[in-house]
Each structure stands twice: as C-alpha cells, then as structure tokens.
Amino acid sequence: MPEHVLESRLAVRNFATVLLRDFKPVLSRLDRRLGMIAGGLELQADTNPISPEHLGVAIHEAFADCELAPEVRLVLIKLCERDLQQPIGKRYEYLDEQLAAAGVMPQMAARRPAPRAPSPPREDRDAFEGFEPESSMGSAGEEGQAPAWARRFADRWAESRGRLQGGGHAAHEGHGEGGDSPGGNQGMLLDALHELLQQTRHVREDATSAASVAVGQQRPLSQREMMSVLSLLQATPSATLRAAIGEDGESLAQRLKSEVLSGATRLGVDPAQARLDPQDEDAIDLVGMLFDVMLDERDLEGRSRELIGRLVVPFVKVAMLDRRMFVQKTHPARKLLNSLAEACEGNTGESQAERVLMGKVEEIIERLVAEFNENLAIFLTLEEEFREFLTQHRRRIEIAERRAAETQRGQEKLEMARQRASTELDRRIGDTTLPQAIGAFLRQPWQHHLTLTVLREGEDGASVGEALSLADGILDEVAEARRHIVGKPWLQAWHPALRKVFASVGVHADAATSAIDALHDTLQGIAESRPELERALPELPQVALPSPPAQESAAVELGSKVDVSDFDNADADRFRGLEIGSWLDFVDKDGKVQAGKLSWVSPISQRLLFVNRRGVRFCVASPEELAVMVRLGRLRAHIDDGAFDSAMQGVIDRLDTKNATVH
C-alpha cells in the first residue's frame, strides 16, 4: 500500500474516532432507533450506515479520484475533522430528535441530570458526577468514576460557589461549551478551571515575581500569532526554557509566557504593545503547572526529564486548539503523554531493554516536535504506534520480571542453605577447641559441601544426612583420640564420605588422599600424645559461593533512627494478603514517587519482591518493613489514574489558595 494511501486512511480513521468520542451518547441512541426501524437488528458502528466509520470511508472515497497531489489530498481530509465535526454532530442530534418525535422508541430520551434539592453546593457538585476519567493506559471504552482531582475540585468549587450565592451573587450556571463540547459536564469543568485560574493568577504571579503585563491599550496576540510563536519555540526551544525544564525552582508557566511575549518580536510585534489573550494564558498556565508537577513528583531525571520537558510547547498548542484534552479520558494527546511518562519514569538506561525503550521514546518525541503543526491527528498516529511498541516491550518486561523472581528465589535458597550449614556447624563445635586440621576441615570444605547439598537437595535430602553423619563421626573420633585409644585405624570408615567432601571443593585423587592422611596423622598424634605428628591440611582451592546482595529493606532509606519495630499490625496483615500483580507507590526521601508491582512472595522468608515498570527489581521487604514505610509516609496505595490525572491533582492543589500552595 502506498504511504500516502495509508496516511489518508489513518486520517479518516482519526476523523471517525473523534466523532465516536464526542457524540457517543447520541450515536448509541441512533444505533438502537435505526435498528428498530430495520426490524429489530442490533446495529453497531460498522453496520450503522450513518456511523462515523461509514462517513470516514465516504470521505476517503470522495477524495480518492481528485486530481490532487497526495499531500494536498491528505491536508483536505484532515481539514474535514475540524470543519465537519460540529455540523455532523448537530445532524446526529437533529436526526435523533426527529426519530423520537416520529415515535421511534420515544421513551429513550437523552439523559439529563436529575433535579436536586435547592442546595447550591450540591447542585454544582452533581454537574461533575458524569465525568469519566482515563485509566493509566487510557483505553477507549473503559468506564469508571471520576479521578480524585476532578471529584476534589468539584467539591471545592461547589463550596466556593455556594459561598458566593449565599452572599447574594448570581450562581454560576453550567452551560457546556455549545459547539465546542458535546456535553455540559465537561464544559462546566473547563469553565470552573478557567475561573479558578483567573482568581489565583495575581497570587501566583506575585509569588513568582512574574513580569505582569498591564492591559491598557495593548492588544491580545491573535491565535495565529500565538501558534506561530509557539511553533518557533517548538522547533528551537530557548536556552532559558530548557533551563526552566531542568530546574525545580522556576515556574514553567511564567517562563513560557515570558518566552511567548519576547518571541513575538520575531513576528514584528512589539512586546510592550501586546498581551496574552485570557484563554491562551489559561492554556499556558494549566500546561505549565501540569508539567511542573509531573517533573517534580515523578521519577524523571536526566535524559528522561529532558525528553518529557520537550513536550511542554506542543501540549500548550494542543490546549489552545482543543481544551477538551483536560477533561476527555480518550484524548489521544493525553493518552500519548501517559504512555511516554510511564516509559520514562525511573528509566536510567541501565539495561538493554531500558535503552531500547528510551530510544523509542526519543523517536516518538522527535517526530512529534518535527511534524506537529495544528493537526491533532499526529497524536493518534504516534499513540497507536507507541502502544504497539509497548505491547512487544511488555513481553520482554514479563521475561525480566520472571528472571528477577528466579534470581531472588535462588538467592534466598542460597542464604537458607548458608544459614543451615552455619547452624549445624555451630551446634556441633560451639566454642570447642579442635585440632587445627579438624577445625579447618569442618569450617571450610565440609561447611561448603553441606551448603551445596542443602541447596541442591533441600533441607531433608539424603546427602544432607550423610554430610551431617560425617561431621558427627569425625567429632566422635576426635573424642576417642583424646581418650588415647592407640592402634585404631582412624577415619577408615569415613573415607568415601571424605572424598566426596573434598571433591566438592575441587580436591581429587592423590590430593584428596594427602588431605585425608593429614586428618589421620592429626588424630594419631593426639592419641599418642605426640603433637609433632599432627599435620595441617594441604592448601585447598579457594572456592566460595556467590554472596547474596545486601538485603533491600525498602526502595527508600528509612534512616538509622527509625524504630523498625514500630508499625501497625493491621498494615502488615494487609501486605501479607496482598495479591500478586498489585501496585504500590514508593516515595523516596526527596518526595519522588515510583510505582512498584508485587511480582513474587518468597515461600522461604515471606518477603515481597517489587519490580518497577520495566520488570527490574527495586525493593524486597518483609510485611513488617512495608508497614513501617506506611507509618513514615514512604509507601501508599497506587492510584492508577496515569501521569496526566496525577499531575492534574497536583495542579488543583497548587491552585488551592486556602493552603497557600503557590508555585
């Protein structure tokens, strides 16, 4: 298939997706009404003749025979998304009303909010209850309650509006956005955000010493001028903007506004005679604060921080073109940001898989920065491409996750075998003074052999019993020698077992015979009270099992002054019952949050193994240690709202003038 045909098909597919997303309720009703007319059929998107998919195919076919260059044809198809979206939506609404008036399932009216008691705060809050969030992956069709930031903001806004109404002010009426929004709930949320930004702007600007621009005779920059300036910043971000992305102290929103006004000079506009349009300023404020929160609270360092920071200017353009990005869970720009942030979070490029993933992230962002003008279709294209890549990448993550569990299992089995061997040795000799050769034999080759045997056969293996019997037999012979029994063939019955022990450390044949003879002569010298007969063991090969890594008590440092015995037993019990695959948020000493997935629970130590989003182990802790972390505020439940919604919660917190949280 030629590339231009593929691009045009993607464009009409995006057109259909936008219509399905924006007019889902009325399309659902039309499917049912038309299905009834057709004889009780169950129509769907691909069988409804007026569905967005069929309209998209019609547009593609209509332009197919045009004698235009492929690039021009593609531009025209993409313009249909902008120019036909609202007229088609109105046609859908009109047809739905006409069918209902004609008696086709008239009882299926459009849903309206149920009337409420005349309490202003409650009425305002009801307007947000229909808002549906995006999950972390942003899959279309997923349903659920509104994210925490939207519910919390709705409550706060309803309370403030209630105070205004109580003081005699007119109530804020939710009216949607007319043609710009298919539903009133989203429009009300956007209007409320806009008003909140207006209320807090002077506080934020005073706090950051921003250069405020007096209105006076100054004219607002037009959207075309704004887009031109932003496109220049997108292609060549200034050094000061790059520095703001790399720092924690400077507000991105204030820096962006300064850059836009100063960048207007490149268009021949005098910055002293220009100001920002209030809606454009809102878009910059929201996106700037969104990225401020994301860069501050997510584990994004180095290259990851730089790459995510490059998205700031493109997302300001998206916010100016389509404010619904902030309230629509299926918006492709929002889904792409969630996926890219997830891929970058905690990614230091240590493993090959991490480097491959970062390479793909860089490729996607480079293409977005280079190709995004004013057509949002590129977000859908890149999001689909990156999602397909992530599907393959997650298979590699599953392999890495299994390896992490296998590695931890092997280390715990080794540590258990070491502890068993050490315990058995201590139980037999304790503080007893043994002849040099006998003590060296038990502490080196025998203990090593017992560790290997327990590791290989388990606690109750036959060879484990044989090794323990050998140690007991040798100690019995030491006791007999100290009773000066003369003429006994020392160690004769234990030769096969002794050879097996020496073989485990690489001593064979004549070397093993020499070592056994040294033990024999030592016992003979003790029995005859002739110390000169005692011999040391010959030098043995240096054989050592790998040392287990330092135990990871947590993904954060708890500190030496922390009482690790002070925890809530209920928390520990919850961790004992935590299901495999559950996610928790780990907070380090700098406040950075990293999500961890419970990958495996040790049947030996009951410790819990957590891996990051790339399947790499980063925390192994007991339920009690995790409970201590909860008490210290270093561990919390994971809310899978994705990077976008999590950052929006932070934005609302920063706009909360009650808490004076200003950035």
* Residue type, position 215, single letter: V
Residue 150's nearest CA partner among 647, 660, 637 is 647
Per the structure block, which two tokens stand in for 635? 């561990």
Residue 335 has pLDDT above 50, yes or no: yes
pLDDT of residue 139: 37
Report the Cα–Cα distance between both ends of the chain, in Å, rounded. Answer: 51
Distances (CA, A) of 119 to 57, 128, 140, 171: 49, 15, 35, 11
pTM: 0.57
Phi/psi of residue 617, nearest 5 degrees: -65, 130
pLDDT in the model for residue 454: 92
- pLDDT of residue 498 exceeding 90, the answer is yes
Residue 195 has pLDDT above 80, yes or no: no
- 8 A C-beta contact, residue 33 and residue 51: no
User: What are φ and ψ of residue 491, in 5° steps?
Assistant: 65, 10
pLDDT surpasses 80 at 546: no
- Report the alpha-carbon distance of residue 550 to residue 459 in Å, rounded: 24
Q: Spell 118-142 as b/e; 16+ CB within 10 A means b.
A: eebbebbbbbbeebbbbbbebeeee
* Phi, psi values for residue 557, rounded to 5°: -80, 125
- Residue 298 is classified by DSSP as B
Q: Pick the more confident residue, 251 or 502.
A: 502
Residue 326 phi, psi dihedral angles, 5° rounding: -75, -20
pLDDT tens digit string along 272-298?
Answer: 778 888 888 888 989 988 998 888 888
Question: Which range among 237-241, 503-507, 625-629, 650-654 shows the weakest confidence by mean pLDDT?
Answer: 237-241
d(CA 32, CA 635): 48
- Give the CA dihedral 608, 614, 618, 620, nearest 10 degrees: 10
Angle at which helix 377-429 crosses helix 462-482, to 10 degrees, equals 30
Instruction: Name the band, by pLDDT with cuts 50, 70 and 90, for residue 176.
Output: very low
Element (H, E) at 611: strand 608-611
Query: Tell me, what amino acid is at 291?
Result: F
Helix (H, G, I), strand (E, B) or coil at 582: coil
Amino acid identity, position 483: R
In this predicted structure, the answer to whether residue 441 has a pLDDT above a threshold of 80 is yes
Is 150:641 a contact under the CB 8 Å cutoff?
no
- Quote the CA–CA distance of 372 and 314 in Å, as a whole number: 7
